[in-house]
Chains A and B, each alone.
Chain A
C-alpha cells in the first residue's frame, strides 16, 4: 500500500525519496505505537482485574497478586509512552507535510502556519480521538506515578482507567485509524484546515475542552473503584478533589474560549447559539458543578453518598454522550466537521459503562448509607440540595432540548428545530434561580437557621436587589414598552437585580470575616481579608468563583440591549451606532500563500473626535476557496463595538459593513478571569491552625468567624 501511494513520484530526487521513506516510516511507527499502547492497556486491565480479584477474595494465586498489580501499573505507564510516540508521529507527519497519510492530507496543507498545523491534529475525527487517548494517558501516567498515596484505591482506579483506555485505543486502532494511508497517488498538497479553525483560540480551545472532558474520567474511576472495594470513609473524595477542580477549571476555560471564538470568528455578534455540540460541553459542566458542591455535604456531614457517586457517573457518561453527539451526526450541528459511523462504538461503550455502574451500585449500595439527615429546610445543607436540584434540572432541560428533534422524529415522524427561543424561555429562568441560590446558600448556617438570623443576613441583599431594580428602571431599561413585555429586557432586569443581591451577600461575608480577623490581630482590614482567605482558601476561593459567575451573568444580561446596523459604505460614507460614528476611509486587499483578504479602514469618531481605527476583514482561503470573516472588535467595559466586513454587494460593488453595539460583553471574559483566579485559590492549601497561629498573634475568639446569625 505504501508503494502504491507514491506511484506518481518515481522520478523524485534522493532528498524527496528520503522524505517519502521517513514519512511512510512515521505512519508505520505511529500505527505500531498505537497497537502497542492498546496491548499494554489491555494487559493493564486484565492483569489489574485478576490481581484485585485475588486480593479481594484471598484465593490462592499462581503468582503474587501484588506483583501482578504492579506489573499492570507499569504497563499503564509504558502505555503513556506508546501513545505519546503515536501522537508525536502525527505531529511530525503534519509538520513534514506527509500527505501520504489521509488524515494529514484532509486537514493540512503546505502553506498552513505552524500553530495551525498543531490545531489540525484535533480538527478531524481521528486526530481528536488520538488527542483524547493521549490526554487520558497523561492523566493515567500521573495517577499511576502517585499510587503510593493509597496503593489499593489507586490500583482499582488505574484498572478502571485502563478499561476506558482500551476502548479509545480500540477505536483508534480499528475504527478511526489516524495513520491510514492515502489510496492512490499522493497529492502535492493537502486540502487545508477548515478556515473557521484558523484562529488563535482554536489552538487552545479544543485541548482545554478535552482536558476537561477527559479529566472527569479520573474522579469517575476513583468513585467506581471506591464503591467496588467498599472503601471506608471519604478519602476517595479528598483524593479526587484536586483532580475534579482542575478538570472543572479546564472545562470552564474551554467552554469560555469556545464562546470567545464563536464571538470573534463567526461574525454574528453572539457567543452562544445553543448548538447541540455547545450543549454537549455544557451538560457535564453542570453535573460536575453539582458534584463539586454536593461532595462538601459528604465531607462535612457524611450525607448524599449515593447521590455523589451517581453525579460523577453521570458526568462521565455525559462526556461520552458529548463525544457521541459531536462524532456520530446524531443531531444537526454547525460543528459538523467531524462526523462518522463510530457512534455505534460509543453507544455500546456507554451501555457497558452504565451497566457496570448500576451493577456495582446495586451490589454495594449498603456501603453508601447516609450518616446524617437534613434537620431543616432552611439550612446550608438544604441550599446545597436545591443547588444540585437546579443544576440537574438545567442539565435535563439542555439534554431534552438537544435530543427532542430526534425524539420527535422517532415518535411522530416529524423533525423539529429546538433553537435559542426554546432555551431562552426555559433555561434562562432556571439560570436566574440558580444565581439566586448562589447568594442565598452562603448566608445560611449548617444544620438549621433561626428566623432572626435569616432576617439579619438577608437585609442588605434585599435592599441591594430593590435599589438595583429602581436604578435600572430609572436609567431607562423598561421591560414594559408600548403596553407589551419585552422578555429579554425583563430577564435582564431580574438578572441585574439578583446579581446585585448576590454580590452584596458575598462581599458582606468577606467584610464581616475580615473585620473579625482585623479586630483579633490589630491589623488593617485588607490584611484581615488576606488572612481570612488564606485560612480557608476553599471557602473563600469558592466565594470568588461565585463573584466571577455574577460578573459573567451581568455580561450575559447585557445581550438584551444589543443593537446593530448594516450599510453599504462607499469611500467617506458614514454610519452611526450608539455614541460612535464610523467613517470609511479606505478599502484594501492583501494576499499571502494561505489566503486573499479584503478589508475596510474605518475611522471611528466619538463625541466629534476621532477615537480609533478599525479594520474588519474578509478572507478567502486559497486551498479551499472558503470565505471567512475576521471581525474587528473595540472593547470597553460598557460595550463592544463589533464590526463585520460582510463582503461586497454584487449589484453595486460597494462593501457591506455591519456594526453591532453589544453592551457588557467584556464582563463575560472578565468574569472568567475572576472565576479562574478563584478556582486556583481554592486549590491552594489553607494555612493550618499551627501555621496561622505562628503568623498571627491571635488575641481572642475563634480562628474563623461562624456564619452570622447561625444558631451554632
Chain B
C-alpha cells in the first residue's frame, strides 16, 4: 500500500516535470527581432550555398537578401510563424526549411533517433540485468565450493583487474 502510494507520488512528480519541460520548450519567442532571428535560422538560403538563411554571408547573393526581405514583410504583416514558413515552402519548395517538419513522413526523421536510442537503452539495461542476475547466482554457488587456493587466485585476479582501465 505504502509502496503504491510512493510510486504514485513519483509518477505524478515525473508527469509534472515533463509537463514543465514541455511548456518551457513550447513557449515561443516574443518580440519581432527574436522572431526574425529565430525564423531566419529555420530557413535555408536557396542560392545553392547550403547555408542557413540567417548565416548566408555572400555579398551579392542573388537569393538571401530577397528571402530576408520576404521574411521581414511576413512578420510585419502579422502572419504567424507557421504561415510565414508555409509561404516560403509554397514559393521555394520543402528544401527551404532547414529541418524536416513535424507532419507526415517528415515526422519519421524526428521519431527514429529517439526510438532507436530508447530501444537500445532499454535493451542494454534488460541485457545487463539478465546477465547480472544469472551471474550473481552462479558466483554465490561457486564461492561456496571453491578450495582456498582457488579462492586466493580469484582474489588476486580481482585485485589485479581492479586497478586500471
A residues neighboring B (CB under 8 Å): 267-270, 273, 275, 296, 300-301, 332-334, 373-377, 380, 382, 385-386, 389, 392-393, 396-397, 400-401, 404, 408, 411-412, 414-422, 425-426, 430, 442, 445-447, 480, 482-485, 487, 536, 538-539, 542, 627, 629, 644, 646-647, 650, 656, 658, 702, 704-707, 710, 712
Contacts and interface: CB of A to CB of B under 8 A. Distances in A.
B128 A374 contact: yes
Interface in B95-122: 95-100, 104-106, 109-110, 112-114, 116-117, 120-121
Contacts of B116: 393, 396
B121 A389 contact: yes
A419 B124 contact: no
Given A374-B132, A377-B125, A421-B42, A267 B24 contact: no
B78 interface: no
Given A373-B134, A396-B116, A334 B55 contact: no
Nearest to A398: B113
A127 to B, nearest CB: 24
B164 A415 contact: no
B81 interface: no
A446 B159 CA distance: 10
Contacts of A273: 50-51
Interface of B: 24-25, 27-31, 41-42, 44, 49-52, 55-57, 59-60, 93-100, 104-106, 109-110, 112-114, 116-117, 120-121, 124-125, 128-129, 131-132, 134-136, 139, 158-159, 161-165
Given A385-B124, A650-B60, A420 B98 contact: yes
Given A389-B120, A408-B106, A710-B162, A419 B99 contact: yes
B99 A538 contact: no
B94 A416 contact: yes
Contacts of B28: 484
Given A275-B50, A416-B94, A646-B59, A426 B113 contact: yes
A561 to B, nearest CB: 14
Interchain residue pairs A-B with the least CB separation, the first 5: A712-B162, A647-B59, A373-B131, A419-B98, A422-B99
A485 B55 contact: no
Nearest to A421: B99
A508 B117 CA distance: 31
Given A267-B57, A705-B163, A396 B51 contact: no
Contact of B124 (A389, A446, A485): A389
A633 to B, nearest CB: 15
22 contacts: A267-B57, A275-B50, A376-B132, A392-B120, A393-B113, A412-B104, A412-B105, A414-B105, A415-B95, A419-B44, A421-B98, A422-B109, A426-B113, A445-B162, A447-B161, A480-B24, A483-B27, A538-B165, A627-B59, A646-B57, A647-B60, A704-B163
A539 B109 contact: no
A411 B105 CA distance: 8
Contact of A396 (B113, B128, B131): B113
Contacts of A392: 120
A712 B159 contact: yes
A286 to B, nearest CB: 14
A420 B109 CA distance: 14
Nearest to A270: B55
B94 A414 contact: yes
